Amino acid sequence: MFTEALIFVLFFIFVSMAFKRYQKVRLLERIPGPHALPLLGNTLQVQGSRQQLLQTLMDFSKHGNGIARIYLGLKPYVLLSKCSSVEGLLTSSVWIEKSRAYDFLRPWLGISLLTSTGQKWKSNRRLLTPSFHFKILEDFVEVFNHQALRLVDKLQSRVGDAPFNVCPSVELCSLDIIMETAMGVDINAQNDEECDYVKAVHGISDIITKRHYSPWLHSDIGFKLSGLAKKHSQYLSTLHAMSLGAIKTRRTACNKLKAEKDSNKEIQTDGGKKRLAFLDMLLEASEHPDRPLSEEDIRAEVDTFMFAGHESVATTIGFALFLFGCHPQIQTRVVQELHEVLGEGDVTITSAALRGMKLLEACIKEALRLFPPFPVLGRRLHQPAVIDGYQLPEGTNFIIMIYSIHRDPEQFPNPEEFNPDRFLGAEAAKRHPFSFIPFSAGPRNCIGQKFGMMEMKVVLAHLLRTFEVTCRQTVEQLCLRKEMTLRPEHGVMITLQRRG
């Protein structure tokens, strides 16, 4: 009797789940999309190289007018590739949940500002936003200058050399900047050509991307059997060692300097200037009785900002140098602007000077349009919704195709052309507000976007004032690789000459 009852219950559960899936698929099948195989869906089409993945996703998105549907195994995804399609989703204060893909980030980045949702996300966002107040960012310009000039000195030896890949040097500079500003620790990464942290970031990003697009790797069992789990653990050890080391170092320093806190609870630094680092605020919040942060909470946020704060900035600077090297006439215009704003000779760039670099900022924005550091974003519905006239069920996963949105010819005529004037004057004002979203948009936009823009302007300004940059690569020769960020597989190969 018990056996029969158990069989009946299991059969009932199976039928209920099958019917629920049928209802969901019936709605999603109304959305245009590529032909999907039974069980596998479109999985085999995304199993090529990382260089082919982005193009495959773009081809998928062309099946619909801004909205398309694919399956990874049995899991459906909806691709959004028009600014009008993503506006409602990104502006919503309700649809803020990240897609299932972000679950694979949690062993590394924990439940952080990037991966959390609901009240946890809202609470952490309120806590961390003051760390990026403009007055605090102004204090960081000194560090931007110091580390940028370190990079300039390092590249002096490459003047007149054959083409070389500038990306590794830029990555180390960006890592030094995020560590010194946000973490309050100078690790001097620019003198470490074989930086294990950077290698681990690249390695784990590749594994996480592979796992997301391979349904047989979704389960922990399949992941372990593949052999990738062991490498994943090794990379995690390296990454967490760096973040935990920064936390320990800063906590020790903060404890020694507690007596020197002023009424604003800013920490006195060695240079006599008051600066409240991102990590300082986390450590202070961990001691607050109303909103305590655990050690795991602190580590998760530190890992998130170490990754997001150096990788996205470094790739954008690299792509900007590629574009300047390929377009000498625009490089000349930017250098002229820098001379007008900064004058001649050695200077320390101030926050006021940064506000005068309108053309340089437009060039960076155009680099972000052509090569968004995060070419896709993910969201998930926790309640039914209607988008572009399609009724979408609860649990629908979205892939927001930023790379495609930035290439919409209706918003950006001749979209593959490097034209920074798109972001100057009236032309920028008449575009759809969601046509350019390199830092996402709405309530879950990037909290550090002003920080990143200021850093990129300082580093590029010092490089362009010192060196004439030339690049002979084509976009095809960059061989764009989609991992968690967009990276040039073959690097950015430039030559440098000193400016007279």
Spatial distance between the Cα atoms of 296 and 373, rounded to a whole number of angstroms: 27
Sequence-ordered list of residues with C-beta below 8 angstroms from that of 204, at least 6 positions apart, any chain: 108, 232, 235, 236, 239
The Cα diameter of the chain in Å comes to 93
Find the range with the poorest average confidence among 143-152, 154-163, 189-198: 189-198
- Over 70: is that where the pLDDT of 273 sits? no
Instruction: State both tokens at 330.
Output: 């625009």
- 471 labelled as ligand-binding? no
Query: Amino acid identity of 393?
Result: P
Of the chain, the end-to-end C-alpha distance in Å amounts to 93
Average pLDDT across the chain, whole number:
87
8 A C-beta contact, residue 27 and residue 391: yes
DSSP secondary structure letter of residue 191:
G
pLDDT band at 123 (very low <50, low <70, confident <90, very high): confident
- For residues 428 and 420, is the Cβ–Cβ distance under 8 A? no
- Kindly list the structural domains of the chain, giving each domain's residue range(s) and its CATH number in brackets, ordered by start: 25-498 (1.10.630.10)
Question: pLDDT tens-digit profile of 393-407?
Answer: 888 899 999 999 999
Residues 6 or more apart whose CB falls under 8 angstroms from that of 84 comprise: 66, 388, 432, 434
In this predicted structure, what is the pLDDT of residue 2? 58
217-266 pLDDT tens trace: 999 999 999 999 999 999 999 999 999 998 888 888 777 766 565 545 55
Residues 292 and 286 sit within 8 Å (Cβ to Cβ): yes
Dihedral (Cα; 45, 50, 56, 58), 10-degree rounding: 150
What is the percent of the chain where pLDDT is above 70?
Answer: 90
Q: What is the pLDDT of residue 99?
A: 84
CB-CB contact of 207 with 104 (8 Å): no
The pLDDT assigned to 276 comes to 56
pLDDT digit string (tens) for 346-377?
Answer: 888 999 999 999 999 999 999 999 999 999 99
Q: What is the C-alpha separation between 447 and 418, in angstroms, rounded? A: 27
| φ, ψ (nearest 5 deg) of residue 472 | -105, 5
Q: Rounded to the nearest 10 degrees, what angle do helices 228-257 and 295-326 cross at? A: 110
Q: Look at 108 and 133; give whichever has higher pLDDT.
A: 108
Coil vs helix vs strand at 401: strand
Q: Is the pLDDT of residue 7 over 70?
A: no
Count of beta carbons in the 10 Å neighbourhood of residue 396: 22
Q: What does the DSSP 8-state code read for residue 119?
A: H
pLDDT tens, position by position, 482-493 = 888 999 999 999
Average pLDDT over residues 304-319: 93
Instruction: Report whether pLDDT(271) > 60.
Output: no
Prediction pTM value = 0.91
Length of the chain equals: 500
What are 35-71's pLDDT values in tens digits?
A: 989 888 899 999 877 788 999 999 999 998 899 999 9
Report the distance separating Cα 315 and Cα 368, nearest Å: 10
